Structure 1
C-alpha cells in the first residue's frame, strides 16, 4: 500500500468513527443558533411592543 493510500484509509476510518459525534455537534450548533435567534427576536419584539403596551395600559 502506498503512503498516500494509507493516510486516506486512516482518514476514512476516523471520519466514519466520528460521524455520530459530528451529528451531535451539528445538532448542538443548530439548537444554539435557534436559541440566539429567539433571544434576539424576542428582545426586538419586547423593545417594539413595550411602548404600545404601556400606551394601552394608560389609555
Structure 2
C-alpha cells in the first residue's frame, strides 16, 4: 500500500514505526478537535443541563 514491501530489514522497521507514529498523531489531533467541538454539548446532554 505504501511501498513498504520494497524496503528491507531496519529500513522497513523504521518506516513502519514512523507510519504508526504519524497515524497516532493524526488520531490524537482529530479526537482532540472533535472533543473540543462537541464535547460540552454531549456532557450537557448527559447531565441534563438545558440552559
Q: Distance in 1 between matches of 2:21 and 2:13?
A: 12
Unaligned runs of 5+ in 1: 1-17
Of residues 23, 33, 40, the one that matches 1:44 is 33
Normalising by structure 1, report the TM-score.
Answer: 0.61
Of 23, 29, 34, the residue aligned with 2:23 is: 34
Q: Which runs of 4+ in 1 moved over 4 A?
A: none
Task: Work out which structure has the larger RCO, using CA pairs closer than 8 Å and 6 or more positions apart in sequence.
Answer: 2
Number of matched residues? 42
Q: What is the distance in 1 between the residues matched to 2:12 and 2:30?
A: 27
User: CA RMSD, aligned part only?
Assistant: 1.7
Higher-Rg member (1/2): 1
TM-score normalised by L of structure 2: 0.69
